[in-house]
Amino acid sequence: MYSYFIRRFLLMIPTFIGITFLCFTVTRFVPGGPVEQAVLRYQQAMSQTGEGGGGSASSSATQGQISEEMMQRLKEIYGFDKPFYVAYVHWLWRVVHLDLGVSDTHSRPVWELIKEKFPVSIIFGLTGFLLSYMICIPLGVWKAVKHGSAFDTTSSVLVFIGYSIPGWTAGVLLLMLLGGNAYFDLVPLGGKESTVITASSKLSSYLQEGGVAKDLPAQVREKYEKLRDDDVINSSHPAYEHIPAEKRAQLKTGSHDDLNFIGRFLDTAWHMALPVFCYILGLFASHTVLMKNSLMENLGQDYVRTAFAKGLSENTVIFKHALRNSLIPIATGLGHMLSIILAGSYLIEKVFNINGFGLLGYESLIARDYPVTLGILVIGSMLKLFGNIASDFLYCIIDPRIRFS
């Protein structure tokens, strides 16, 4: 078994090179790249500069032209001055040294941009992943036990309806129905937390105590130069303890940061409800059906009939003998838990305006920000490759009969 996993780890190297080389080559030849966009911005700026003056058509056409020297300089800046295979080798060498480059759009290192999105995507991805398994496994078992009943038929209809609707489409429909006060105003229209909490909001009762920065002593104000006189600081701020007791009061308005622990939890859960539901919609449906079919198949095996013939109870046969073998197909998805930071869908994060890993990838593709796009590809492909190996390892744990020797 050890030799099998060693071979799998070694096989990751050519697989990773193949994935990245193919995608890198596409970025070299797809139209509308960063060089073309830079030239377009230059031509637009030149045309706007010459709008007020007169001139012939030939002079206007010449004005938007770009010299060969400037074109070559642009290619050097964006890394398009070398053949694609040479550029790939240079890019791969930097990746090996954990250098993903600098974003063309944000002018910041790609690692910094990605690290900012990790917490958001991990929270949404992990919550959806755990909820889908916590619901689909018991539901699939119950459907298998009650096969052919009214409960099984009704739940199957709902499961297949959920499976047929893409998550981002369900998100748009639910936002139209439940948000924005078009029909109801039960959920926020997007984001991961509230930016403004008014006095009429139900979350206002969870606001902390606070005070105004101008009431701080002068020596304390010197330590916090960014505070303005009219800035409100809550009880979590380190300078709050220096505000006189008579100047402190319960906040009536504020933001997510002004809430106490319970309020922040409720606010985050309120914003996560619809995105997580849309994220797990397709995953939940497919795993429920997979769990049911796998358990029904095992219930028809000889060892289950033998267990019943020995006088074992139905619960013992199902949960002690059949269920463990039925979990083997489900274990495939558990290995991919490493890739949950991708948060399931770029479009779901776009619909709900969640500034996470998926939205960063979506915006990078639209803006032709290839350093960010390739950086996300590197992380995503590595997580997928490690996830496949983890799935094989879980096979060995769940079913001792499986050997890779």
Q: What type of residue is 275?
A: P
Mean pLDDT on 172-183 = 83
Length in residues, the chain: 405
Rounded to 5 degrees, what angle do the CA atoms 279, 126, 351 make? 30
- Higher-pLDDT residue of 61 and 22 is 22
pLDDT digits (tens, 9 = 90+) for 193-233: 888 888 888 888 899 988 888 888 888 888 887 888 888 88
Please tell me the predicted confidence (pLDDT) of residue 335. Answer: 65
Which DSSP category does 210 fall into? E
Question: CA 12 to CA 284: how far, in whole Å?
Answer: 29
pLDDT digits (tens, 9 = 90+) for 343-388: 456 788 888 888 888 788 888 888 888 889 899 889 888 888 888 8
Q: CA-CA-CA-CA torsion for 248, 250, 253, 254, nearest 10 degrees?
A: 70
Query: In the chain, what are the domains?
Result: 2-96 (no CATH), 110-184+272-398 (1.10.3720.10), 208-251 (no CATH)
Which DSSP category does 187 fall into? S
Pick from 206, 218, 213: which is nearest to 240 by CA?
213
Please tell me the predicted confidence (pLDDT) of residue 16. Answer: 92
pLDDT over 50 at 52, yes or no: no
Q: Cα 45 vs. chain centroid, distance in angstroms?
A: 36
pLDDT confidence tier of residue 22, bands split at 50, 70 and 90: very high
Pick from 343, 350, 352: which is nearest to 383 by CA?
343
Determine what percent of the chain is predicted with pLDDT higher than 90. Answer: 6
The pTM assigned to this predicted structure is 0.75
